[in-house]
Amino acid sequence: MTNLTFFFLLMGFFVVLSINKFIKMSVNKQVKRVTTHTLQEMKQNNEKIAMLTAYDYSLAKLVDGAGIDVILVGDSASNVMAGHETTLPITLDQMIYHASSVVRAISRALVVVDLPFGTYQGNSKIALDSAIRIMKESGAHAVKMEGGEEIIESVKRIVSAGIPVMGHLGLMPQSIYKFGTYVVRAKEDEEADKLKKDALLLQEAGCFALVLEKIPAKLATKVSQLLHIPTIGIGAGSGTDGQVLVLHDMLGITTEFSPRFLRRYLNLADEINNAVSQYITDVKSLDFPNEKEQY
Ligand code: KIV
């Protein structure tokens, strides 16, 4: 074989490799609307799932337009939008209000809505009623619930009514008063074993995906390999099938919350402060409005 033939063979190999990579990367680009089925395909194709929270029409429109796969109308709205210390106070009516605003904005992303604290823990009938209200009144595509074994009956009942359920294990903010702190969960074997067992139970019960919050990266990778449904991590390392962040945290609108796992892509708090200060100066100095800005 001449050097030239070898060179062309090598080039051919790399071209095939790149085409393969492109084909594998393209699942979410091919779809007009992201569905639970799309997420399953993305896992099979090793294509990571990008999820962000949104709670209102304007930001949801921007996030959807940028090509996000999943929008979570999280009960973190309780902290971010309403200023509560925990996620516990937010009500089903408030979640439906946020979710319907988001649904009106999106044209492509899958919209998942948190069932808030107290609306599914009672029994599976209460859980189903809450899930049905979210689906009917907001037009969202799926619900999310925190917990393992203890909520399995409710998950099964909701799934059998045709409503897709996303699970949530690890740090579960609705149980913060049981945990007592927001530190990393499942560092010890006993809790890690329970988490793995719960993950399998949720998968068997019909969950289409699972959020893993603030657990060791090694454990999250293991769980992701164990399951055929996609896992979406927050503070769970790079071995999960996708990542989720709270939009206001990653945009730097909220500043008081700075965990290690949070990457800030913007510093909007400073930007907004500068803009508002400038506006105040302009109004007070009669610079605004100028001749062109009036009728
Ligand atoms: O409510 C929320 O924002 C969440 C994410 C942190 C996963 O549950």
Q: Is the CB of 249 under 6 A from ligand 1?
A: no
70 lies in the same domain as 162:
yes
Q: Is the CB of 246 under 6 A from ligand 1?
A: yes
Catalytically annotated residue among 137, 150, 213, 293: 213
Tokens coding 90: 């937010």
Structural domain span for residue 290: 270-295
Tell the residue number behind the tokens 């090598």, with chain if given: 10
Q: Specify the pTM.
A: 0.91
39 lies in the same domain as 181:
yes
CA of 226 from ligand 1 middle (Å) equals 23
Task: Establish if 23 belongs to a structural domain.
Answer: no
CATH code, 93: 3.20.20.60
213 classed as catalytic? yes
Question: Looking at residue 1, what is its pLDDT?
Answer: 56
283 strand-pairing partners: none
CA of 86 from ligand 1 middle (Å) equals 12
Mean pLDDT per 10-residue interval, the chain, length 295 residues? 56 50 62 97 98 98 98 98 98 98 98 98 96 98 98 98 98 96 96 98 98 98 98 98 98 94 98 98 98 98
Task: Establish if 1 belongs to a structural domain.
Answer: no
Task: Establish if 237 belongs to a structural domain.
Answer: yes
182 lies in the same domain as 286:
no
| DSSP letter string, 73-104 | E-TTHHHHTT--SSSTT--HHHHHHHHHHHHH
CA of 213 from ligand 1 middle (Å) equals 8
Q: Give dist(CA 138, CA 148) in Å, integer.
A: 26
Question: Looking at residue 22, what is its pLDDT?
Answer: 46
Q: Is the CB of 134 under 6 A from ligand 1?
A: no
167 lies in the same domain as 193:
yes
Which residue stretches of the chain are H helix?
A: 3-25, 27-30, 36-44, 57-65, 77-80, 92-105, 124-138, 152-160, 176-179, 189-205, 217-226, 247-250, 268-284
- Which of 49, 51, 52, 53 is the best mutation target for the ligand 1 pocket, counting ligand atoms within 8 Å of the beta carbon and taking the most? 53
CA of 75 from ligand 1 middle (Å) equals 6
Task: Establish if 184 belongs to a structural domain.
Answer: yes
Q: Domain tally for the chain?
A: 2
260 lies in the same domain as 289:
no
Question: Looking at residue 27, what is its pLDDT?
Answer: 78
Neighbour tally for 267: CB within 10 Å? 13
